[in-house]
Structure 1
Amino acid sequence: MSEIEPIVHIVDDDPDVRDSVNFLVSSLGYRCVTSASAQDFLRALDDQRPCCAVLDVRLPGLSGLELQNELQRRGSAVRVIFITGHGDVPKAVRAMRHGAIDFLEKPFDDQVLLDRIGEALAESREAIERRRRQGDLERRLSSLTDREREVLAHIVAGRTNKAIAAALDISVKTVENHRHNLMSKAGVTSVAQLIAWASEPGQISA
């Protein structure tokens, strides 16, 4: 399957800034989408593909920092790079603490911005992949029966088939059947892989 094309969003109420950043970034082959406000950006956002947002701190309506908060609230994979014509250390500190890739003061170094965009898109890809894996894990886990969950918890705890059978008052053969079904549903081929799968955050515990 071919890799999904990433998008660089440029959000600034100054058309000259939008045009200049768009020209710079698109010259490297990136697909760019420009917006004059946070609301326009949110309407254009496709959160299923890797993307980053080059945001001005001061925007009409929702500010850049407020937009960053909204993206976090949504659990978005968008990664943010702030640009500003007004040096503001407290705002920069706040933005970085909330996960911004960088906080650049205009006029910024073109290469620094391009480097940060590369970092932001790489992080966005990783976030989307983590979200995909978590969704897959949750779907597989939801397919388990209550008894399979019980057996899995014992397997994760390192107990033998015999010990599991005794704890659940079932036969060793039944435990083996449950283990086979668990491995099939988890899409793994060994007990070690099954334990690793079940040990993912938010999965199952003994």
Structure 2
Amino acid sequence: MTKPTAAPCVAVVDDDEALRDSLSWLLDSVGLTTHAFADGDAFLGAEPDSFTAVLLDVRMPGLSGLQVQQRLNERGDSTPIIFMTGHGDVPMAVTALKAGAFDFIEKPFNHQQLIDAVQQALAKHQQLHQARARLEAVQARYAALRPKERQILVHVAEGMTSREIAEYLDVSAKTVEVYRLRAMKALGAHNLAELVRICVALALVEPLPTKPRQR
């Protein structure tokens, strides 16, 4: 079950105490809740998935920002990360982006730039949360289907006709239609295209390959 959406809370992870205090004050001033950490280990030990965005320094004693990101990725944590980088750290920031970071900003940074980046990261987190909730709802509906309904839906999404499915399962075409319509209604699929998208999202069928553009 998806957890209820909590109030946004931004983690600030930096070994510079003055900068942590400054960032916390800045974000608090625009109505955001913050929680500051002096190093990556402290952050990782504080249930990082409870945060809606992370401001993470690249270079820190102990675990580096990239190592913290790696640990989060290993946990399957998708919280948006904004890296804070010093002069000369841009190559590291590019590496972080390739590993899934949301953005990076260079120190010293403009206050409005940082606020904008955090707000965008929070919006992304909300989108991810909503998408996850929709997927979990569909998974629950699919799990509640009868085995035969699930089987028929997959065959429909694979492109088989009702007659082909009926012959394959040794049932009547009418039975296939009844099961198909009942299952589509349960999943909230109003047409074949929606059904295929749902089956792809549930990893029941492979997505169609993208057609190359005509030259």
TM-score where L is the length of structure 2: 0.81
Q: 1:48 to 1:22 in 2, by over 3 A?
A: closer
Q: 1:93 to 1:190 in 2, by over 3 A?
A: closer
Task: Tell me the equivalent position of 1:35.
Answer: 37
> Residue 7 of structure 1 contacts residue 31 of structure 1 at CA under 8 Å; is this kept in 2?
yes
1:166 correspondence with 2:175: no
The SS at the match of 1:141 is helix
Q: 1:182 to 1:154 in 2, by over 3 A?
A: same
User: Mapping of 1:17-32 within 5 angstroms?
Assistant: 17-32=19-34
Output the CA distance in 2 between the equivalents of 1:98 and 1:127. 17
Task: Tell me the equivalent position of 2:83.
Answer: 82
User: Mapping of 1:149-160 within 5 angstroms?
Assistant: 149-160=150-161
> Residue 13 of structure 2 contacts residue 36 of structure 2 at CA under 8 Å; is this kept in 1?
yes
> Residue 141 of structure 1 contacts residue 203 of structure 1 at CA under 8 Å; is this kept in 2?
no
User: Mapping of 1:175-186 within 5 angstroms?
Assistant: 175-186=176-187
1:73 to partner: Cα distance: 1.5
Q: Which deviations, in whole Å up to 9, do the C-alpha atoms of 1:112-152 show, x marking residues without a partner?
A: 11111112112222222232233333333333444223211
Task: Tell me the equivalent position of 2:112.
Answer: 111
Q: 1:114 to 1:198 in 2, by over 3 A?
A: same
User: Mapping of 1:1-206 within 5 angstroms?
Assistant: 4-45=6-47, 47=49, 51-200=52-201, 202-204=203-205
Q: Give 5+ residue unaligned stretches, structure 2.
A: 207-215
1:74 to partner: Cα distance: 1.6
The SS at the match of 1:173 is helix
Output the CA distance in 2 between the equivalents of 1:195 and 1:56. 42
Output the CA distance in 1 between the equivalents of 2:93 and 2:191. 48
Output the CA distance in 2 between the equivalents of 1:99 and 1:190. 34
Identity %: 40
> Residue 11 of structure 1 contacts residue 54 of structure 1 at CA under 8 Å; is this kept in 2?
yes
> Residue 77 of structure 1 contacts residue 128 of structure 1 at CA under 8 Å; is this kept in 2?
no
1:163 to partner: Cα distance: 3.4
RMSD over aligned Cα, in angstroms? 2.6
TM-score where L is the length of structure 1: 0.84
How many residue pairs get aligned? The number is 204
